[in-house]
């Protein structure tokens, strides 16, 4: 295979892995919202219980990977920075969605992710071309169109909003740490394994808080943990090898759009003109951000 063909294959692999990971991220939002806002006879599960089951099921699903690699050692688990970032993101994400509307929550989460990653990228010397800046502005505008500007309806709960911003910083940190990993699936498995003791504490906390766990809630949380989190994060770590910090931040702006489209297709929500406008802005903006500048021939 020639160098050009190898490069094209690498770009294609990155594109496929990125698309699958972003769909998984949107799936997490849909699963969490469904569990916490289920209107059958209340919530299907509380936010602390959702976090506990999500983390434990992710750890169990990926446990064979760590065991086969012989890497499941206490010393290795105690030094997992990614596990700390995962814990911060997971608990703040779930608790925030109790009080913050879904659309505003998506804006806060991915806005915090983007800002955090762009600041780090700039601090580490990544160049910002005009096309990249315009693309980021368009994609950000698309997210605003998609979720609506805060303040148009009921006031946003300040505590919930702050928690979602912290969740975004946690996820951005998790993503940045993943760019330096050489074994994405093993790294994800160890992060979840290191987070498991905290998840057990969440089980106790949920019991003390009187949270009820329905079969539906357990199924939604377990699916989020094993599939859209455990598997999805491993795929995202693999995709990150083909991204810069800036492009990794930009592509995640598509997640609110994917979640909205999933709501239309899977939950029977109504498609609106705003959704179409947001799709054009987000996808076009991300395309500009990912475009590599042409190098003039010498």
40-56 pLDDT per residue, tens: 556 688 999 999 999 99
Complete DSSP assignment for 36-85 = HS--SSS-SS-HHHHHHHHHHHHHHHHHHHHHHHT---HHHHHT-HHHHH
Q: What integer pLDDT is reported at residue 170 of this predicted model?
A: 94
pTM of the predicted model as reported, rounded to 2 decimal places = 0.79
Q: What integer pLDDT is reported at residue 38 of this predicted model?
A: 64
CA 67 to centroid of chain Cα atoms: 26
Contact 96, 160 (CB under 8 A): yes
Q: What integer pLDDT is reported at residue 36 of this predicted model?
A: 82
Q: What integer pLDDT is reported at residue 59 of this predicted model?
A: 93
16-44 pLDDT per residue, tens: 999 999 999 888 888 887 888 664 556 68
> DSSP label at 291?
P
Residues with pLDDT less than 50, the chain: 1-3, 5-6, 39, 150-153, 294-298
Q: How far apart are CA 289 and CA 281, in angstroms?
A: 12
Q: What integer pLDDT is reported at residue 202 of this predicted model?
A: 92
Q: What integer pLDDT is reported at residue 218 of this predicted model?
A: 92
Q: What integer pLDDT is reported at residue 42 of this predicted model?
A: 61
Q: What integer pLDDT is reported at residue 149 of this predicted model?
A: 52
Q: What integer pLDDT is reported at residue 8 of this predicted model?
A: 57
List, in order, residues 6 or more apart from 66 with CB less than 8 Å away.
72, 186, 189, 190, 193
């Amino acid at each position: 295979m020639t160098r050009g063909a190898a490069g094209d294959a690498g770009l294609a692999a990155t594109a496929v892995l990125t698309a699958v990971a972003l769909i998984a991220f949107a799936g997490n939002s849909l699963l969490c919202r469904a569990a916490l806002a289920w209107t059958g006879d209340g919530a299907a599960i509380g936010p602390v219980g959702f976090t506990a089951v999500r983390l434990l099921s992710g750890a169990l699903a990926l446990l064979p990977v760590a065991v086969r690699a012989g890497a499941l050692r206490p010393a290795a688990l105690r030094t997992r920075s990614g596990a700390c970032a995962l814990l911060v993101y997971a608990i703040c994400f779930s608790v925030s969605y109790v009080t913050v509307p879904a659309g505003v929550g998506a804006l806060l989460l991915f806005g915090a992710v983007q800002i955090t990653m762009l600041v780090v990228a700039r601090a580490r010397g990544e160049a910002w071309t005009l096309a990249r800046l315009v693309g980021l502005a368009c994609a950000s505008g698309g997210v605003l169109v998609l979720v609506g500007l805060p303040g148009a309806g009921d006031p946003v709960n300040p505590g919930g909003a702050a928690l979602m911003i912290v969740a975004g910083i946690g996820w951005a940190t998790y993503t940045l740490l993943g760019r330096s990993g050489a074994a994405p699936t093993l790294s994800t498995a160890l992060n979840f394994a290191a987070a498991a003791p905290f998840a057990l504490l969440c089980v106790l906390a949920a019991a003390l808080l009187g949270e009820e766990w329905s079969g539906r809630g357990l199924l939604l949380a377990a699916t989020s943990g094993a599939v859209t989190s455990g598997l999805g994060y491993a795929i995202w770590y693999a995709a990150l090898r083909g991204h810069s910090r800036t492009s990794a931040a930009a592509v995640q702006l598509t997640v609110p759009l994917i979640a909205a489209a999933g709501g239309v297709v899977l939950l029977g929500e109504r498609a609106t003109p705003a959704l179409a406008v947001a799709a054009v802005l987000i996808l076009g903006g991300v395309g500009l951000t990912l475009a590599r500048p042409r190098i003039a021939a010498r």
